[in-house]
Structures are given as C-alpha cells and as structure tokens.
Amino acid sequence: MPTPADRPEDSDDPFAVAEATLDARPTVPLERPTGPVEVEERPTVLVDEQTLGRRPTVKVPAQRRPPRPARRAPLPVAVAFATAWAAALCYLPVAAVIGLARTLEGEGGLGGAAHAGLAGWLLGHGVPIGTSIGPLGLPPLLLTMLIVWRLNRAGLHVTRAIGARRSGKVGDTLLAAFGIALTYALLGSVAALAVDGKGTEVAPARAAINFFVLGLLGALAGALRGTDALSALARHTPGALRAGVRTGAMAALFLLAAGAAVTGLSVAIGGGQAADTIAAYRTGVAGQAGITLLSLAYGANAAVWAAAYLLGPGFALGTGSAIRLTEVTAGPLPTLPLLAGLPDGPMGAAGTALLAVPVVAGAAAGWLLTLRLNRAGDQDGPPWSQVLGGGLLAGPAAGLVLAALCRASSGPLGDGRLATIGADPWQVGLMATVVLGVSAAIGAAAARTFGPRPKA
C-alpha cells in the first residue's frame, strides 16, 4: 500500500500537505464502453395561425388567492346596532297595532300612537305603568317571548360581528351579553322618561333594571350559542347534572304544552260565550280585532296558569280568589274572550284524571332521558347513577323554569280587586320539583328496565 509523502520540512501549509497526499496515490485507468447515440426521427410540424385556430381552447384555472382576513366590527358598534334593531322589531309592531286601532276609532295621531306603543312595550318587559286606577303591571307574556327571542338573536349577531363565532371563549360571550344588557337598559330608561308624564307614571330605575335583566338573559343565550361556549361548559359539567337540567326543561315544556292545549280546548268549548263577549263591546271591527289581539297576547299567560292549575296550586284572578282543581272562587272578572274558558266549579272525578297530566309529562321526559343515554352508553345500558340522578335532578330544574314563568306572567291590574293576578311562583315551583322529579326518575328507570336495549 502506498504511503503518503512526508510533509515538507518546516511547512505548516495544509495545501502542501494535501498535494503531497495526492501525489502519493496511484493512477488507475477507467474503462467505459462507448457506443453510437440513436436519434429518433420526428416529423416536422408546421404551425400556423389557421392550425392554432382549429385547436380547442382549454381554460386554465386561475391561481387561488389567499383568503382575506375577516373584517371584525368594533364591539360598541356591533352592540349598538344589534340592540337598536332588536328593540325596533319589538316596539314597532306594538305601536302599529295601537296606532291602527286609534285611527279606526277616530283618535288618530302619530304622537299618541307612539306614546301608547312605548307604554305597551314597557309593559312587555314587566315595567308597571302608573295610571289613575293604579299600577298596570300584568305583562303580555307573548310580547315578552318576542322580546327575549330578538335579544337572543342580537347576542348571536354580535358574536359573529366581532369574530368570536365558534371560538368557545366564555370571555367573549360575557362581553357581548353585558354590552347588550347595558345598552338595552339605557334604551329602557329613555323609553320610561318618554312615557312618564301626565296620566302615566313610570320609574326609569325600575325600567332600567327590568331591561337589563331581560337583555342579559336573552343576549347570554344567543352569545352562548354563537361562540359555542355552551358546549365547552357542558363538557366540564357532571353527566348527571347535565342530564337533569335537560330533562327538567323538557318536562316543563311538556307541561306547558299540556296547559296550552287545555286552555285552547276550554276556550273552544266556551266559544259561544267568547263570541258574545266580543260582540258586547260594540266598538266596531277595529275594537273587536283589538280585543282579540289582546286575548292572544295574554294567551301565553293563560298557558302558564293552566300548567299551575294542572299541578294543583292553581292561580288567582283577583284578591281572595282561587281557581284550582278542587276549588273555584272568583268575583266579577273583566269581559275578555280568553276568560270564557274558566271552569265553573271544582272538576270532581275529571280533576283526578287531570292530576295525572304532570305525572305523564315527567315520566315522558324521564323515558327520553334513558333513550338519549342509550345512544352514548355501552351495550349494558347507561349506569343507574345517571338514570336516577338525572331523573331526580330534573325536578328542581323544572321547578325553577315554571316558577320563573309564573313570576313573569303575574302582575296587578290596578289597586282594586284585580291587584293580584297569576300563579304563586313558590307553590308552583315546589310542587313541580316534587311531582316532576319523582315521575321523571320513575320514567327513566322504567325505560332502563323495560325499554329498548342500546345497539351494539
């Protein structure tokens, strides 16, 4: 083996060392075969404008542009616009109906219609209106439901406008909800100052509080859906509690649906009396239409009162009155078509059958609870802790919902005998907690034992 040449004396140059190393390597010849290169013959094609014109045109896709960043609206602008739009959509129908009725009755005037519309709008928020006969504080619950729905949409729109859609951020949710609530409270104070005057008295502070509460509840529900923070909160909630809240809400809705059905059936049975009541006003077509619309606006109140009637506590239509399955005590009442469906006396044996309606509503909600858990559980069925725990926790959830609705659907109509109208929230809430909770647990356990088994 050849060895590299010695490093030159007294040389530290690396290049000299490399040259000495290369000089010591032997030279080895490389043998590579050579051959002719074959060239393929290709015909020459003459391309002219006529030939190019006969060829089909191919559309080349354009280069994709990078997506533009979404424009986000400032929070104050989004909140102000969404809140004002929600308030306008709730106020204008009330003012239009009242203005039309005043015009047909010969009491036209844009100012009067606007003033009366504001008073009705405030009443829909539960703000009492002081009059010569006393405070009018019985809110038309159908208008209240419209207000909450529009505020719900406002919360949803604000989360989209500020770029928080499906972000799952609780902070953005609370920011949007509180912004809408504060703006809505300001609008309520301004409306109260406009209505407050000769003949009507409204407390701006009370209006601000009511508007803030409704604005916060409605906007928070919409913002939770818009940011998808509700799903994030649900994932951190115990399964039994989550199932109980959902089942309680369903049981309350079932009972309210039964109350609405009972109300409609009662009014239909007393349809002759309702028609006579409308004809007795002798106010023309406009007046009769106004009375009918007024009855429809308070139809949601009647559904809540009917649910309290089915539960047992019943409701009151005046001081000292009581309308329940076992007792009917009522004095002179306003002549409204809606009141034509009131029972004439205790139901007797039929009342016993009506007491089973809340039990059926709770059992149905409990049965659906188990079916829902079956879809997410194993083949052996959901654990008994979730079945019974969710059923029992449905009682307090339903009780809170029904108690809140009883409170929202009650109020005075003056200082006289009609100063107390509606159902007692405490009695209804406690009765719903017991009846619906126990029946939901029984229905859930029955579905767990006798219902369909989950699919493998």
pLDDT at 8 over 80: no
Pairing of strands 134-136, 322-324: unpaired
Question: Same domain for 288 and 355?
Answer: yes
Residues 96-135 have pLDDT tens digits of: 887 776 666 666 667 777 888 899 999 999 999 998 888 8
Q: Tell me the C-alpha distance between 125 and 405, whole Å.
A: 13
CB 128 within 8 A of CB 411: yes
Residue 161 lies in a domain: yes
Question: Same domain for 243 and 231?
Answer: no
Determine the pLDDT at residue 41: 67
> What is the percent of the chain where pLDDT is above 90?
41
Among residues 186, 209, 235, which one ends one of the domains? 235
Q: Encoding tokens for residue 275? A: 């028609």
What is the pLDDT averaged over residues 259-266? Answer: 89
Question: Same domain for 334 and 197?
Answer: no
Range of the domain at 330: 239-450
pLDDT at 364 over 80: yes
Residue 48 lies in a domain: no
Question: Same domain for 152 and 109?
Answer: yes
Residues 370-393 have pLDDT tens digits of: 888 888 766 667 788 888 999 999
CB 202 within 8 A of CB 127: yes
Q: How many domains does the chain have?
A: 2
Question: Same domain for 181 and 304?
Answer: no
Among residues 235, 265, 285, which one ends one of the domains? 235
Question: Same domain for 90 and 164?
Answer: yes
Question: Same domain for 275 and 401?
Answer: yes
Query: Beta-carbon neighbour count of residue 239 at 10 Å?
Result: 16
Residue 330 lies in a domain: yes
Q: Encoding tokens for residue 39? A: 């060239």
Question: Same domain for 231 and 252?
Answer: no
Residue 90 lies in a domain: yes
Size (the chain), residues? 456
Question: Same domain for 216 and 229?
Answer: yes
Alpha helices in 196-355 (DSSP H): 204-227, 229-235, 239-269, 271-279, 284-297, 299-311, 349-354
Question: Same domain for 384 and 428?
Answer: yes
Among residues 207, 235, 263, which one ends one of the domains? 235
Q: Tell me the C-alpha distance between 443 and 281, whole Å.
A: 49
Question: Lowest mean pLDDT: which of 123-127, 195-199, 432-436?
Answer: 195-199
Residue 345 lies in a domain: yes
Residue 216 lies in a domain: yes
Residue 245 lies in a domain: yes
Residue 293 lies in a domain: yes
Question: Same domain for 192 and 341?
Answer: no
**DSSP conformation letters of 352-381:** HHHTHHHHHHHHHHHHHHHHHHHHHS-TT-
Confidence of residue 45 (pLDDT cuts 50, 70, 90): low
Q: Say which residue, 249 or 339, is predicted with more confidence.
A: 249
Residue 197 dihedral angles phi and psi, to the nearest 5°: 180, -155
pLDDT at 16 over 60: no
Determine the pLDDT at residue 152: 95
What is the pLDDT averaged over residues 252-275? Answer: 84
Mean pLDDT score of the chain: 82
Question: Same domain for 228 and 251?
Answer: no
pLDDT at 3 over 50: no
